[in-house]
Amino acid sequence: MLNAVLRRLATAPLVLLVLVAVTFVLIHAAPGDPFVGERAADPQAVAALRKQYRLDRPLPEQFAVYVGNLVCGDFGPSLRNRGQSVGLIIADRLPTSLWLGAIALVLALGAGLSLGILGAVRAGRALDHGLAVVAIIGVSIPVFVIGPALAWTFGLWLGWLPVGQWAGFFGVSHLVLPATTLAIPFAARVARLTRAGLLDTLHLDHVRTATAKGVAPAAVVVRHALPLGLVPVIAFLGPASAGLLTGSLVVEKVFQIPGLGQEFVESAFTRDYPLVLGTVVVYGAIIILGNLLADLAVVMVDPRVRDGKSL
């Protein structure tokens, strides 16, 4: 298992390099100029700025310089924020996104596991069918629809919760709507995976043996069936956790949360190439780490995978 982990870590830089290369090509192929806005700009001033940030160089040279600086931990200067370090911007905005994503992850796991277990133990009954409908709705509706709907209902119409405000990490009322919006689709997927995985394990021999010995039904589910039933959920949580921790782009924009997601959206619109690339690198690293941790968790939980020495 250690060798497999080391192989994953060894290939991570190559994956990030490919990700940076693809992003670099796409953002430079997109129309627009970071120094030309809606108003007419002085061509000489634009040319001076492009020379200052070395955007007048050939693209292969720009890419080589950027990768070389990235290896040294330098994300470069932001074009939109008057040369402010991209690393400092990311360090300032990322904790907010991680905090929002962590709260959403806890909500998604709590709700998804509860609904999935309840649906599995009541399989084929009215409650199970009702929960299946709820899960399908949660998976089908995108966050850019859920967010405004929750904001209008609980913020503008009922007036129970604030909308478009940020009160810091511990402003609980300000986190309810964005965290719930972010958690709903993931909770629905966790519920469906939990139900399917638990239904598969409830019929295994060791689970039937525990039931025949008179073990309490709740103990049979939690101690004997649930660990193996959670294998699909754990495998899903790798990319899902990374998506929750970094995928709040739309949610941050809707609720005006000063996280890295909102900064990424704005930098893409303004063609702030270094900030877009730096954000993509950070997101890519988090996704790679999340997938690795999920694979390790599967190995620890499922003895079939552990005995096969696969990762």
Q: What is the 3-state secondary structure (H, E, C) of 225-243?
A: HHHHHCHHHHHHHHHHHHH
C-alpha–C-alpha distance, residues 271 and 262, integer Å: 14
Average pLDDT of the chain, as a whole number: 82
Question: Among residues of the chain, what percentage have pLDDT more than 70?
Answer: 92
Whose CA is closest to 230, among 184, 297, 286, 308? 297
C-alpha–C-alpha distance, residues 246 and 240, integer Å: 10
> Could you tell me the pLDDT band of residue 107, with boundaries at 50, 70 and 90?
very high
Query: How confident is the model at residue 311, as a pLDDT?
Result: 47
Res 1 pLDDT > 60 = no
Lowest model confidence (mean pLDDT) among 30-44, 57-71, 190-204, 274-288? 30-44
Count of CB atoms within 10 A of residue 42's CB?
10
pLDDT average, residue stretch 233-245: 77
C-alpha–C-alpha distance, residues 89 and 129, integer Å: 47
Task: Give the contacts of 206 (CB within 8 A, at least 6 positions apart).
Answer: 224
Place of tokens 């193996």: 228
Query: How confident is the model at residue 180, as a pLDDT?
Result: 92
Query: How confident is the model at residue 22, as a pLDDT?
Result: 93
Query: How confident is the model at residue 258, as a pLDDT?
Result: 85
Whose CA is closest to 276, among 49, 24, 15, 13? 24
Lowest model confidence (mean pLDDT) among 55-64, 246-255, 301-310? 301-310
C-alpha–C-alpha distance, residues 259 and 122, integer Å: 41
Give the Å distances, CA to CA, from 223 to 215, 237, 305.
10, 21, 19
Q: Check: CB of residue 241 under 8 Å from CB of residue 102.
A: no
Query: How confident is the model at residue 37, as a pLDDT?
Result: 62
The residues with which 36 forms a beta bridge, in sequence order, are: 33
3-class SS of residue 26: helix
Place of tokens 């940020």: 166
Which range has the top average pLDDT, 201-210, 245-254, 279-288, 295-304?
279-288
Tokens found for residue 24: 């670099």
Question: What is the C-alpha end-to-end distance of the chain, expressed in Å?
Answer: 7
| 78/303: higher pLDDT | 78
Res 65 pLDDT > 80 = yes
Task: Give the contacts of 30 (CB within 8 A, at least 6 positions apart).
Answer: 271
Per-residue pLDDT of 245-278, as tens digits, reads 665 777 888 888 888 888 888 888 888 889 999 9
C-alpha–C-alpha distance, residues 189 and 182, integer Å: 12
Place of tokens 């809707």: 254
Res 304 pLDDT > 70 = no
C-alpha–C-alpha distance, residues 252 and 175, integer Å: 11
Tokens found for residue 52: 């200052």
Q: Check: CB of residue 200 under 8 Å from CB of residue 123.
A: no
Catalogue all structural domains in the chain, each as residue range(s) with its CATH number: 95-251 (1.10.3720.10)
Give the Å distances, CA to CA, from 299 to 88, 119, 289.
37, 26, 16
